[in-house]
Each structure stands twice: as C-alpha cells, then as structure tokens.
C-alpha cells in the first residue's frame, strides 16, 4: 500500500553534515520525496509537534534540543511508508539501534538521536500539519 510519512533530520545531524547521507537512504530505498524543507523550530511549534510527550520528564530537553538549530523535514511516499521508515531509523536509544539503521549507524545518544519519523498515519497527519503549514 502506497502511503506517506514524515521524517525530520534533527539539529544534531544537520550540524554534523549528515543531511545528504540520510536523504540518500530514503531515495535509494525507493521512496519519492513529496515535500522537503529546512526549518528552525520555534518553541511554540516544538511544543505542538511534541504535544504527545508533554507530560514526560524529558519534554523540556526535547523541546530545547529540537529548537537548538536548523532541522530538515521531508514528506515521502511509497509502499508501507510509515512502518518501513520506522525500521530504517532504528530504535529510539541510538546506542541500542540496529547497525544498518540510521540511528544505529550515525548516533549513540538518546535525546540527540539524529532523526524523527511519524509512528502512525494519524501522527503523520498531525505532525506534517505542524511542520508544513
Ligand atoms: P521515537 O523518536 O523513536 O519515536 P519517542 O517517541 O519515544 O521515540 O520519543 C521522542 C523523542 O524523545 C526521542 O526521539 C528522543 C526523546 N527521548 C525519548 N526518551 C527519552 C529519554 N528517556 N531521555 C531523553 N530523551 C528521550
Ligand atoms: Mg515517537
């Protein structure tokens, strides 16, 4: 089933010069890029984006990290986009992420974990509204 998802290359990966290598993986996999933009999250937008985590102890850290520098957001389309992209990014805790996944190959940290991807069709709809409106 062809569907769409959103990923965000987070400020740590942008500042480390990983944008091209990350986008290359999604193109190589067979996804089509539908939208692509560099953006700087402001606090209000970051709090809305991460609304689902507002009661978590790491919420403040999350918001301050995502607003700390430019990020790159993309909407991509292809078969099983949501689940395939989640597999490609790897586990949240980068040091435990499978080698071959983006977090597994490029990161070690939990908070600064390179990339975000929507985890369902509903979160894709919500998150892309925050980032591409
Ligand atoms: P994911 O990004 O894999 O969907 P999540 O939705 O559980 O993970 O959490 C959102 C982000 O919050 C995650 O990418 C990094 C941060 N985060 C999660 N757990 C954390 C923790 N224990 N300490 C610090 N940051 C954390
Ligand atoms: Mg998540």
Q: Could you list the pLDDT tens digit for every one of the 133 residues in the chain?
A: 689 999 999 999 999 999 999 999 999 999 999 999 999 999 999 999 999 999 999 999 999 999 999 999 999 999 999 999 999 999 999 999 999 999 999 999 999 999 999 999 999 999 999 999 8
Give catalytic residue positions. 116
Q: Please report how the helices 19-29 and 81-89 are oriented relative to each other, as an axis angle in degrees rounded to 10.
A: 140
Which residue carries 């190589």 as its tokens?
A: 28
**How far apart, in whole angstroms, are the C-alpha atoms of residue 4 and residue 17?**
25
pTM, 2 dp: 0.98
Ligand 1: distance of its center to the CA of 15 in Å? 20
Ligand 1: distance of its center to the CA of 30 in Å? 27
Q: Ligand 1 pocket, 103 CB below 6 A?
A: no
Please, are residues 14 and 122 in contact by the beta-carbon 8 Å criterion?
no
Give the three-state DSSP class for 87. Answer: helix
Ligand 1: distance of its center to the CA of 98 in Å? 16
Mutate to test the pocket of ligand 1, among 12, 52, 62 (most ligand atoms within 8 A of CB): 62
Q: Which of 89, 91, 94 is nearest to 113 (CA)?
A: 94
Q: Which atom from ligand 1 is nearest to the alpha carbon of 111?
A: 25
């Amino acid at each position: 089933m062809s569907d769409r998802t959103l990923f965000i290359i987070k400020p740590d990966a942008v500042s480390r010069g990983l944008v091209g290598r990350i986008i290359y993986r999604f193109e190589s996999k067979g996804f089509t890029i539908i939208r692509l933009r560099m953006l700087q999250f402001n606090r209000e937008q970051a709090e809305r984006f991460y609304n689902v985590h507002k009661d978590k102890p790491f919420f403040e850290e999350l918001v301050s990290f995502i607003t700390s520098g430019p990020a790159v957001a993309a909407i991509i389309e292809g078969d099983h986009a949501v689940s395939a992209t989640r597999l490609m990014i790897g586990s949240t805790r980068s040091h435990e992420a499978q080698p071959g996944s983006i977090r597994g190959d490029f990161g070690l940290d939990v908070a600064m974990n390179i990339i975000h991807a929507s985890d369902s069709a509903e979160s894709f709809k919500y998150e892309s509204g925050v980032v591409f409106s």
